[in-house]
Amino acid sequence: MRRYMHRTLSRKDKLLLWVAAIALALLALALVAMSHLRPILTSLATARVSNTVTRIVNAAVNETVYENNVDYDSLIELEKDNDGRIVAVKSNMMAFNRLQSAVLNNVLERMADVDTRELSIPIGTLTGSPLLAGRGPLLRVRMQSVGSPGAHFENEFSAAGINQTKHQIKLIVDVSVGILLPGFSTGTRVSNDFNVAETVIVGGVPESYTYFHSNDIQSTAEDYVMNGG
């Protein structure tokens, strides 16, 4: 008959088992909690990153327009006939491309300087409780640019009164970012548009105007004249 030797666990072994069991239970609880909080965390992180990117793009556009003294006359040339009537609106594409390039470079530099602490979310905020909002350890949130930011210009003509036409030049900046969160990642695309210059053209609607569009800084913007009808 075989004899089985039963070894009695020491107090130290029992303590280690209890510690291991508690650690496993806490880990399981944390995983379950994180799965339930994941949608909230994703929403908060996306909103925080979007706000940060919007702030960066706003600052980059305003600074670039100011430092380069960008105005309507530096971007647009109004062509007149012998009677002084405006018959065509032409764009200075070199000026547009310089502005576009400067804005995108400024955006990239500012994004590289973002502190991860600025994006981090306190755990208490995830509970939705006003008393715990902004409290507790920080969940680290990082963002990284996905590809290069894109920018393009658009013309907009609208009636501004009797025999007057408002011409606005808009800059649209698109930034795609990856959002890195504890255990998973997501992404978002932030688009902002800015009115960089405008004027009111007095007189009849110009017979033609230059239309311009460039999807990104690497493309060559080409002019072509569209009849005003």
With b for 16 or more beta-carbon neighbours within 10 A and e for fewer, the 54-71 pattern comes to: eebbeebbeebbeeeebe
Distance of CA 34 to the CA centre of its chain: 26
Q: Which of 224, 222, 207 is nearest to 88 (CA)?
A: 207
Which region among 70-74, 114-118, 149-153, 185-189 has the lowest average model confidence (pLDDT)? 114-118
pLDDT at 153 over 70: yes
Q: Which domain holds residue 162?
A: 13-227
Return d(Cα 88, Cα 135) in angstroms, integer. 60
- Which 3 state secondary structure label does DSSP give 83? coil
Average pLDDT over the chain reads: 76
State the total domains in the chain: 1
Rounded Cα distance between 26 and 56, Å, is 40
pLDDT at 227: 30
Please indicate, yes or no, if residue 2 is contained in any of the structural domains: no
Residue 7 belongs to a domain: no
174, two tokens: 């698109």
Report how far apart the first and last C-alpha atoms of the chain are (Å, whole number). Answer: 109
Quick check: is 1 in a domain?
no
Tell me, what's the pLDDT at 57?
A: 94
CA atoms within 13 A on the CB side of 118: 13
Distance CA 179, CA 202 (A): 48
204 within domain boundaries? yes
Q: How confident is residue 224, by pLDDT bands cut at 50, 70 and 90?
A: very low
Residue 6 falls within a domain, yes or no?
Answer: no
- Return the top range by mean pLDDT from 18-22, 59-63, 123-127, 137-141: 59-63
Q: What is the mean pLDDT of residues 111-129?
A: 74
Q: Is residue 3 part of a domain?
A: no
Give the pLDDT confidence of 78-110 residue by residue, as tens digits: 887 777 777 777 888 888 889 999 999 999 889
Buried b (16+ CB within 10 A) or exposed e, 96-126: bbebbebbbebbeebbeebeeeebebeebbb
Q: What is the pLDDT of residues 163-221, one digit of tens each?
A: 788 888 899 999 999 888 877 888 899 999 999 988 888 766 555 555 444 443 332 22
Residue 192, number of CB atoms within 10 A of its CB: 16
DSSP state of 168: E
With respect to residue 220, please indicate whether it lies within any of the assigned structural domains.
yes
- Return the bridge partners of 173, or none: 151, 192
Domain membership flag for residue 5: no
d(CA 71, CA 76): 9
Say if residue 138's pLDDT is above 80: no
